[in-house]
Amino acid sequence: MSSVRADTVGIVGAGSFGTALASVLARAGRRVILWSRDADVVDAIRRTRSNPRFPAAALPAPLEVTHDARHLATEARFLVLAVGSRDARDRARELGDVIDGSHIVVHPIGALSPHGDQRVSEVMAEGLPTQKLGALAGPALPSDLAEGHYASMVVASVFDEVVAEGRRLLNAPPVLRVYSSKDLVGVELASALAGAYTVALGMSDGLGIGPGPRAVLVTRAVAEASRLGAAYGADARTFSGLAGLGNLLVRAHDPERSADYALGRRLAGPASRADGEQTEGARAAAAGLELATRLRVRMPVLQGVVAVLAGRMDPRDAAQMVGDTVAEAE
């Protein structure tokens, strides 16, 4: 394997996160190949060094762009599957036709699969010929990466090689620092639930509940997620780290930077209906509650979020239900 291929990062998906990560790595001097199925996006990046889907991110050389999946697989051994959870299965199958067992594939998808309660790495494993899989998670918003603000993530895998290569290739200080974890189950679940609880915090802020009750909600959300993680075989401590609490805190403060938080704020408004809107956090809430029901883990905060999203409960009633549950537990 050539040193150039070993040192190249391939990013699957030219959405906001994939583009922002490509920007950070390219600005740090890393060779990056950004892959998109949209030929117009590829052409625009080649002509203008900017992605029309996320123009805030500068895309200087040594970044390359392609819509040829085989070229991506040939040129890069380390791949980041940066697509939405609904597209993960199809993109994994598409990649599965061109990669082999030597490739490493990690994903930054903060959701459970919409196909039941599978984790995204499990979906990837079904479509990819490599076992070297992992996840990326943590407080690294696309806008912060594009603007050069400090961000951190954790790369998780059961394979030491995946973690080591993830840290080696994705570390781009001072903008991005990458830490390691072997708790793949916990990192994936914590990241997904952080999106669901971001919706809850958006609702609470929209209702104006105040900083004290908000702090209680954050505390209860982390405790609730930790219980589910432990029942699912994860390390409960993971949910207080970058993938869980860190992810939640960075998302839950600005509607412009987080679709999950913006959804929660809208749900707390006069209409207080989701009207079928499905962010990653909303999908994670439904899948997480399904998993909790199967494992018999009581999760009142998540239950309230799902009930509001489904139109079965008013946000104010959900907040009262969660408050009553917390009081009973004390």
Name the CATH topology of 185-329.
Answer: N-(1-d-carboxylethyl)-l-norvaline Dehydrogenase; domain 2 (1.10.1040)
The model's pTM is 0.93
Using an 8 Å Cβ cutoff, are 231 and 297 in contact? yes
pLDDT above 60 (res 274): no
Q: Does the pLDDT value for residue 156 go beyond 70?
A: yes
pLDDT attached to residue 110? 87
Closest to 281 measured CA to CA, from 192, 201, 205: 192
Confidence of residue 316 (pLDDT cuts 50, 70, 90): confident
pLDDT by residue (tens digit) across 133-152?
A: 999 999 999 999 999 999 99
pLDDT in tens, 182-218: 999 999 999 999 999 999 999 999 999 889 989 999 9
Cα torsion through 82, 88, 92, 95, rounded to 10 = -40
For the chain, residues classed under CATH 3.40.50.720 are 3-182
Q: Which residues of 213-224 are buried (b: 16+ CB within 10 A; e: fewer)?
A: beeebbebbbeb
Residue predicted with more confidence, 316 or 63: 63
Nearest to 25 by CA among 49, 58, 53, 70: 58
The average confidence (pLDDT) of the chain is 92
Per-residue HEC secondary structure of the chain comes to: CCHHHHCEEEEECCCHHHHHHHHHHHHCCCEEEEECCCHHHHHHHHHHCCECCECCCCCCCCEEEECCHHHHHHHCCEEEECCCHHHHHHHHHHHHCCCCCCCEEEECCCCCCCCCCCCHHHHHHHHCCCCCEEEEECCCCHHHHHHCCCEEEEEECCCHHHHHHHHHHHCECCCEEEEEECCHHHHHHHHHHHHHHHHHHHHHHHHCCCHHHHHHHHHHHHHHHHHHHHHCCCCHHHHHCHHHHHHHHHHCCCCCCCHHHHHHHHHCCCCCCCCCCCCHHHHHHHHHHHHHHHHCCCCHHHHHHHHHHCCCCCHHHHHHHHHHHHHHHC
Between 274 and 75, whose confidence is greater?
Answer: 75
Domain with CATH 1.10.1040.10 in the chain: 185-329
* Rounded-to-integer distance, Cα 316 and Cα 308, Å: 9
Determine the pLDDT at residue 111. 84
Q: Place domain 3-182 in its CATH homologous superfamily.
A: NAD(P)-binding Rossmann-like Domain (3.40.50.720)
Q: 325 - beta bridge partners?
A: none
